[in-house]
Amino acid sequence: MSLTALQAQNAIALRANNNTLSAAQLEFLLRGVSVTFAQILYVTDVQLAAAHKAEGIQKVTSANVLLASNIAAQTHLYARAVRKSAAGFKENDAQAVQGFVAQSNYFEHTATHSIVVHKQHPDKFYMFAIYNRAESLYVHNGAVVDKQHVAGYCTPSAAKLLLAPTATVHNVTHNVTHSVHVRTIALDNIVHIRARKQLLTV
């Protein structure tokens, strides 16, 4: 089912209420499961050029993602997914693919693998999600707009990336190309999560 303008506008209104999902709620939802699929709906503010920062354009995304709970079993979940994907790209060196490991980042995993916390700000929690598929709508002044409209408010580099996104990811450190997209989504931005036949909403 496609994301509608009404759903996008409602999601923005929900986030504006400042009610947020907590790490404890997500932890309870994922308790006792190794990996599971989830449907999430979240809102982010588009990064605009300095001259247009006051415009306030939002991006509303509905995504089907893979989440994990058991950190002992899933510590290398992302690396395994990358190696599996990268093996399908003939330009990759086989040894480089097998040697791929996840790099250190600004966050660290909690006991629930898909909940990560900012290393410098222990009160900031994020969902660590591996994307399966996603769709987004952009909203400006309450109306849904297209990417061309949004690009007009972005820096040239951001506009180029917006209008011509790449399906693959190239890891420079390991010189490996793959198609695994992972996102760390601030829990403050998520308005609902559907997983394990349950719905969490703000």
Per-range mean pLDDT, top range of 52-56, 79-83, 136-140: 136-140
Tell me the per-residue pLDDT of 141-172, one tens digit each, with 9 for 90 and over.
999 999 999 999 999 999 999 999 889 999 99
Domain ranges of the chain: 5-201
Alpha carbons within 13 A on the beta-carbon side of 115: 22
| Average pLDDT value for residue range 13-35 | 92
| Average pLDDT value for residue range 115-124 | 95
Percentage of residues in the chain having pLDDT higher than 70: 97
- Extract the runs of DSSP E, i.e. beta strands, from the chain: 35-45, 57-68, 107-109, 115-118, 125-140, 143-145, 169-171, 176-178, 182-186, 190-195, 198-201
Is a pLDDT exceeding 80 seen at residue 1?
A: no
Q: What is the pLDDT of residue 43?
A: 98
| Average pLDDT value for residue range 180-195 | 96
| Average pLDDT value for residue range 100-129 | 93
Q: What is the pLDDT of residue 104?
A: 87
State the amino acid at position 13 in one-letter form.
A
The DSSP code sequence of 6-36 is HHHHHHHHHHHTT----HHHHHHHHTT-SEE
Q: Is residue 71 very low, low, confident or very high in pLDDT (cuts 50, 70, 90)? A: low
pTM of structure: 0.92
Q: Is residue 2 very low, low, confident or very high in pLDDT (cuts 50, 70, 90)? A: confident
Tokens of 60: 């509303």
Three-class DSSP category at 79: helix
Is a pLDDT exceeding 60 seen at residue 73?
A: no
Average pLDDT over the chain reads 93
Alpha carbons within 13 A on the beta-carbon side of 155: 5
